[in-house]
Amino acid sequence: MESGGKKIKIPDHVAIIMDGNGRWAQLRGLPRLAGHREGVKRAREAVEFSYRNGIKYLTLFAFSTENWQRPREEVEGIIQLLREYLRKELPDLKENRVKLKVIGDLTPLPEEVRREIETAEEELKEGDRLTLIVAFSYGGRQEIIRAVKKIVSECKNGTVQNISEEYFRKFLFAPEIPDPDLLIRTGGEQRISNFLLFQIAYTELYFTKTLWPDFTSEEFKRAIEDYSRRERRFGRVGKGK
């Protein structure tokens, strides 16, 4: 990717908090679900942008553990949109060598939805161009607590000797996925909202007022350009300092 004739540094892993679907719909006098449906189109566009521009991992925050408290009609509609996405996009994802991984506590989902997710993951397991991680029924604190419980269980069995950062990471939902280089949040809010709390310790953050249904490939490119201008130090002294 280039900008102004100069090559842009592409992050390996981009995570996105897709915020603003409901507000987008309300501004147009539409039901909130219409905003979520439009948001699916932007998700499709973000996936295509990622594999065409060399991003290796894309994590989309689709539904949080807290979102279960929303009105039943909206929750059921979002679950149905997930199913539609898996069914409609699977052939295209497979053709473009996209691997799928869904992270989160999926136990509240209907059994048939969990089976569809497993089937899609199996169908796309050979993808080597982009790994798409969908965080659904996901919470960062809950993921950490889940990991601690698993470690405690191993401790009781006497199999743990040294609890290091690397060891702890093994108990996360996707230990094989590298930490995000860039986290984008749309919708104007400037908070993390319980997303990838362990993984974003040194992630670059980018906030935009653009509502998710309006987040086009051009907006995505601007976020990458902003990231490209930053110097990532990971606690070290920067150049010339």
How much is the pLDDT for 3?
A: 63
| 120 neighbors 94 (Cβ within 8 angstroms) | no
Mean predicted confidence (pLDDT) in 77-93 = 96
Mean predicted confidence (pLDDT) in 74-93 = 96
How much is the pLDDT for 156?
A: 79
- pLDDT for 1 beyond 80: no
Mean predicted confidence (pLDDT) in 107-120 = 97
How much is the pLDDT for 149?
A: 94
Q: What is the residue whose two structure tokens read 């065409």? A: 52
pTM for this one? 0.93
CA end-to-end span of the chain, whole Å?
Answer: 30
Burial (CB count <10 Å: 0-12, 13-18, 19+), residue 196: buried
How much is the pLDDT for 173?
A: 98
- pLDDT for 239 beyond 80: no
Beta strands per DSSP E along the chain: 2-3, 6-7, 13-17, 57-64, 98-103, 130-138, 182-185, 204-207
- Please state which of the four CATH numbers 3.40.47.10, 3.40.50.300, 3.40.1180.10, 3.40.920.10 is assigned to the domain occupying 2-139+178-228: 3.40.1180.10
Least confident of 17-26, 108-117, 151-160, 188-197: 151-160
Q: In this structure, which amino acid lies at residue 191? A: R
Alpha-carbon torsion 235, 236, 238, 241, what sign? positive
Higher pLDDT, residue 168 or 154: 168
Radius of gyration of the chain (CA): 19
Q: Catalytic annotation on 67?
A: yes
* Domain coordinates in residue numbering, the chain: 2-139+178-228
DSSP track, 166-201: HHHHTTSS-TTSPPPSEEEE-SS--S--SSSTTTTT
Which of 67, 96, 194, 214 does the annotation list as catalytic? 67
Q: Catalytic annotation on 19?
A: yes
How many CB atoms within 10 Å of residue 172?
A: 18
Higher pLDDT, residue 24 or 232: 24
Q: What is the mean pLDDT of the chain?
A: 94
How much is the pLDDT for 229?
A: 92
Name the token pair of 9.
């540094």
130-165 confidence digits (pLDDT tens): 999 999 999 999 999 999 999 998 887 777 768 899
